Structure 1
Amino acid sequence: MAGDSHKKTFLILTVFISIIAVGLTVVAFSTDNWVKFTGSKHNDTGCDKNKSDDSCTTNGRFGLFRGDNEINYNFGPRDRKSKVICTDGWCSYYTVRIDLGETLDNTEAGTAYIKNISSIYTKAKDKGENVHDWEYGLFGFGYWVTILVMLSLGIVWGLVTISFTVFNIFGKPIETITGPLGLYLWNLLGLIFMLIGVILFAVLFQTNFAKNVLPQNDYGYHTFRTDSSLDYSFYFTVGSLVGFLLNLLLLMFSGYSVRCACTQEANKAIDNGIILY
């Protein structure tokens, strides 16, 4: 009995950790602080060289689906909003200016913008020019969707983990997959999918966002250059990843070994004189 109580204590801990892990990923999805950035003019074009302050600057943040930033062309700061729009195998943060009354509801305009930018990029690349997708604010649609799917599956397996752990605490699983093996499996799957999602986004940041998070006209024509860093929403997913790892360690230290639970139940049935013919 003492052993069972000890194991259930560890299972209760894994439930709380799983809830936190799932919650962190949900919060990461709903917040727009995956990447933050600041920037300034690459040269002095259009800026007052006599000013001691930074007269041509930009700063902002964005998440998996949207973001906001502020840009100053030496005429005062202007607030802008952006959201991810994908078409023709490419995605980009389509940006509008709030002070001009522009909204992000016009998806057709965003789609047309990305088609135009991706076409310019493709033509330049076909000509053999040394161009990169990040210079145009572009990133791959398939890669982006893979990140979202991996993180979403991490949430799914986290919910499965919570459900089956609660069942093991209050119920008597008779199938191996619903018992110890299942608890290890669901946590391992959550760990794997979260790890893939985190790594993929970190790679995307290093190859694209760390070099440029601005639309092509800001990066190219206006020659702004940015300094970007990962923000707390991203680290929430890292925390979720650590949560799944802690669950696996707790299961190991609890003495909850992987064995067939159905054998024990069958033995109990025989001891009680219940024999099926």
Structure 2
Amino acid sequence: MCLRYKTFFFLNFVTCLCIVILLCTSIGTPHWIEAESKRNSSLGGGVSNVISTNDDEPGPNRGFIHFGVVRGCKIFNYGFGARDYKCFKVSEEHADLYPTGLLIVVIVFMVIAAIFAMVATIFGMVNAITRPIEAIHGPKGLFLWNGFGAIFSGISLFMYVGLYYTTFEGKEVLNAEDTSQPNYFTTDSANYGYSFWLLVTTFGLFCVNLILLIIAHKMNDPNFRWRRRAQEISTIQTTELAQSIMY
């Protein structure tokens, strides 16, 4: 039973390590939002029905843009072959499209979630190898670190989802330079990219860790006797304090 009990802590170590990697990858990759673009024929662009045979290049008079919370890239084909990818800082490129300051909040909460995941990674291994004396280093501490990690990653997730539905879905994600003369490119729709789904995965892994810790606690203490022991310790301490005051 002891080996099975500690297995849950080792699983916590592995999943939290994955969470840290996924969060860093999500922040650093520019594929939170992906959108295809085309030139507006009514403004002189002329949309072509020809589709490029190269998956990395858009067809004539079409383009592609993808971006994350820090940077992004875009590429356009004006009918004479695709130009090179042009990369940009999201805070500068989209300054006039939506409040990019919200992205800073998303990043900060993701970093905080990664810090809690790192702490849970360390103490997950400690609990898998030893039996910590202090509660904050033990299973209760793991539950606390994973709980805070889930909260902050969840806040980041739902903030960006809200930003998507209010700003990106069915709306223009190109700046004024790309949509005006002589470019005339527009985007029809924007979809989530893999970088966003990495954040969703980290939130799910935090929740899985919490479930595993609850199962581990039920295995080790099915009747939740720690509450009774805590009350007994509190009563003893109160009695000793009262006696010391009397004498």
TM-score (structure 2 length as normaliser)? 0.77
Structure 2 counterpart of 1:224, one-letter code: F
Distance in 2, matches of 1:142 and 1:40, equals 28
Q: Please point out which of 90, 107, 112 is paired with 1:148.
A: 107
Give the alignment's Cα RMSD to 1 decimal: 2.5
**What does the per-residue CA deviation read over 1:66-117, in whole Å, with 9 as the maximum and x for residues that have no partner?**
22221133443222423226xxxxx3327xxxxxxxxxxxxxxxxxxx6xxx
More strand by share: 1
Cα offset for 1:141? 4.1
1:247 aligns with 2:199: no
1:185 aligns with 2:144: yes
1:42 aligns with 2:40: yes
Residues 8-27 of structure 1: pairs in structure 2 closer than 5 A = 8-27=6-25
Greater mean alpha carbon deviation, residues 154-163 or residues 27-36: 27-36
Using the aligned pairs only, state the percent identity.
28
Residues 57-96 of structure 1: pairs in structure 2 closer than 5 A = 57-84=62-89, 91-93=91-93
Aligned match of 1:216: 176
SS of equivalent to 1:78: coil
Distance in 2, matches of 1:247 and 1:173, equals 19
Distance in 1, matches of 2:88 and 2:138, equals 43
Structure 2 counterpart of 1:27, one-letter code: T
SS of equivalent to 2:213: helix
SS of equivalent to 1:139: coil
Q: Is the 8 A contact 2:37 2:65 kept in 1?
A: no
TM-score (structure 1 length as normaliser)? 0.69
Structure 1 counterpart of 2:107, one-letter code: L
Q: Is the 8 A contact 1:46 1:74 kept in 2?
A: no
Distance in 1, matches of 2:49 and 2:40, equals 16
Structure 2 residue runs without a partner (length 5+): 51-58, 234-247
Q: Please point out which of 191, 200, 223 is paired with 1:229.
A: 191
**How many pairs were matched up?**
214
**What does the per-residue CA deviation read over 1:130-175, in whole Å, with 9 as the maximum and x for residues that have no partner?**
xxxxxx4x33243121000011111111001011111222233222
SS of equivalent to 1:174: coil
Aligned match of 1:158: 117
Residues 66-145 of structure 1: pairs in structure 2 closer than 5 A = 66-84=71-89, 91-93=91-93, 136=96, 138-145=97-104
**What does the per-residue CA deviation read over 1:32-83, in whole Å, with 9 as the maximum and x for residues that have no partner?**
211111011333332347x543642111312222222211334432224232
Distance in 2, matches of 1:250 and 1:65, equals 34
Distance in 2, matches of 1:140 and 1:68, equals 19
Cα offset for 1:188? 0.4
Structure 2 counterpart of 1:143, one-letter code: L
SS of equivalent to 1:32: coil
